[in-house]
Structure 1
Amino acid sequence: MEFDAIVLAGGGSTRFGGVDKAMLVLDGVSLLDRVLAATAGAVSTVVVGPVRTTSRDVSWTVEDPPSGGPVAGLAAGLQHGTAPVVVVVSCDLPWITAADVTTLVEGLAEHDGHGLRDTDGREQQLATAYRRTALEAAIQQVGDPRDKSVRRTLARLDLSWTDPTHAGDDVDTWADLDG
């Protein structure tokens, strides 16, 4: 099934002291490039955040207003691509692979979305394949997407989840890089 990818990479990285988390390097590859490798099968890929040098060509956009949060980033990202399925990933998922992305897309079945759980069992809305129409409707329903909660915005969607997996572990602190 064809899919587009939206990669959220516009956060302030406050827990990293303002260091650009997307450009942190793990095993010789930036976190952003690791996610871009995992989503390489997308028909189109848009990165929501400042333009950076990456390992492959992608489209770029920023949320409006800038620093408006992940829901605003999703709204901006949805302006790109036309595939019926959208894989949404944040740039801080260094262990996600192309096989994991395939699992997300193939796991949609009749659901609005199918996402990863991290190793602690937490549902990762920003590591999920969504039906474009369902995601667009959820974001439209909140009105101004600035500073809206991702969990609240997507709460009405019918989502299914993988078993806990390391692929769903995100990097929020320096210690998380030891994963």
Structure 2
Amino acid sequence: MESKAGSIIVLSGGTSSRFGADKSQAILGHQQLIHHILASVPGEFEIIVVGADPLFTGAPYRCVQENPVGGGPVAGIAAALELCESEIVGVLATDMPFAAAHMIHLLSAMTSHDDALMYVDSQGFKQPLAALYRREALESALSKIGNPHGASMRTLISHLNVHEIQMSPEIEKAMIDVDTPHDLVVAMEYLAKI
């Protein structure tokens, strides 16, 4: 297999309870939310989708599912890591359609001392679902957690040396998280402006 710059884990297996339907299938612009995300990942990155096959033809990817299904993001990351061959792993939630480019940009700031790089917003909220991680550090943190089913991202990152990057106002706008139908409207408005 050709060497890749890193692996991107796209978490698409959530319950979408606040959205009211499978939000990965929601239409943003002229394509499904998950297709929008997959199309935004540069070709030098390996893509691993956690969840159902998105039937995307624009880039190669592999699919995996946490077992049992519905285990949450940490369980999804654990399942995907079994397929990862890269030292650097990006984790991206399927409901953050404009985050990929900003997340990948964090690569330039990563040092040998960092287990993870993630943005922090103006309210001090860390964004672990649009962040870069060292694979070995993730594997070590997962081993400390034990069973990943139902574990929180907060618990996972508590075992990591996280390098926090303050979001600029522009990046904060791009980190739209589509949790509700109203959020999708906001994302459509943002898309129309870029």
- TM-score (structure 1 length as normaliser): 0.90
Counterpart of 1:160 in structure 2 is: 163
1:114 to 102, 112, 117: 117
Counterpart of 2:16 in structure 1 is: 13
CA root-mean-square deviation: 1.8
Counterpart of 1:144 in structure 2 is: 147
Unaligned runs of 5+ in 2: 188-194
Tell me the amino acid that sits aligned with residue 126 of structure 1: L
Whether contact under 8 Å (1:71, 1:150) holds in the other structure is: yes
Measure how far apart 1:169 and its partner are. Answer: 2.6
Worse-matched range after superposition: 84-93 or 107-116? 107-116
1:101 to 100, 103, 120: 103
Whether contact under 8 Å (1:114, 1:161) holds in the other structure is: yes
Worse-matched range after superposition: 23-32 or 7-16? 23-32
Counterpart of 2:179 in structure 1 is: 172
Measure how far apart 1:108 and its partner are. Answer: 1.7
Q: Distance in 2 between matches of 1:6 and 1:97?
A: 11
Measure how far apart 1:119 and its partner are. Answer: 6.3
Measure how far apart 1:42 and its partner are. Answer: 4.4
The structure with more radius of gyration:
2
- Equivalent residue of 2:18, what SS? helix
Worse-matched range after superposition: 42-51 or 31-40? 31-40
Whether contact under 8 Å (1:115, 1:124) holds in the other structure is: yes
Measure how far apart 1:10 and its partner are. Answer: 0.1
Change (3 A) 1:134 1:82: same
Which digits, 9 at most, give the CA deviation of each residue in 1:84-121, with x for residues without a partner?
000000101012243x1331222222311111335654
Tell me the amino acid that sits aligned with residue 89 of structure 2: V
Q: Distance in 1 between matches of 2:44 and 2:27?
A: 23
Unaligned runs of 5+ in 1: none
Worse-matched range after superposition: 128-137 or 38-47? 38-47
- Equivalent residue of 1:6, what SS? strand
Change (3 A) 1:97 1:148: closer
Worse-matched range after superposition: 119-128 or 149-158? 119-128
> Sequence identity of aligned pairs in percent?
34
Tell me the amino acid that sits aligned with residue 104 of structure 2: T
Whether contact under 8 Å (1:118, 1:166) holds in the other structure is: no
Counterpart of 2:67 in structure 1 is: 64
Change (3 A) 1:42 1:4: farther
Tell me the amino acid that sits aligned with residue 140 of structure 1: S
Q: Distance in 2 between matches of 1:56 and 1:120?
A: 35
Tell me the amino acid that sits aligned with residue 35 of structure 1: I
Measure how far apart 1:168 and its partner are. Answer: 2.5
Measure how far apart 1:16 and its partner are. Answer: 1.6
- Equivalent residue of 2:129, what SS? strand
